[in-house]
Amino acid sequence: MLEPYTPLIQFYAQTFLENKSGDQYMLLCSSVFMDIMGGIYKRLVSEKEIKPIEELPLERKEFYWNVAARPNIDSKEKRIKAAIAAYTINIVVGNDN
């Protein structure tokens, strides 16, 4: 399913998991990370493997929206991409369903 991205996903997942004591969401500063996670998100949603972020409970949506503000993202469009990336990395590492 995600074979073309596997080495990069493993790197991002490992980085995310290793930073539990720090800011796990520092990856949101990377536009490459956000683009890759956005592509994975679209694929997983289209294959109906995960819920679209819009269908999550309000508390979860607010969590990802607030996380997306941490790296000082300056536009609504980028913040939406960052929220989706944060949701997707949590799916990848098994922290969210």
pLDDT per residue as tens digits for the range 20-77? 766 778 888 888 888 999 999 999 999 999 999 999 999 999 999 998 887 667 788 9
pLDDT at 79 over 60: yes
* Residues 1-11 pLDDT 10s: 455 557 778 88
Half-sphere exposure of 39 (CA within 13 A, CB side): 12
pLDDT for the residue 1: 47
CA-based end-to-end distance of the chain? 18
Measured over the CA atoms of residue 6, residue 37, residue 29 and residue 15, the dihedral's sign is negative
Phi-psi region of 4 (alpha: psi -120 to 50; beta: other; left: phi over 0): alpha
Closest CA to 20 of 79, 90, 88: 90
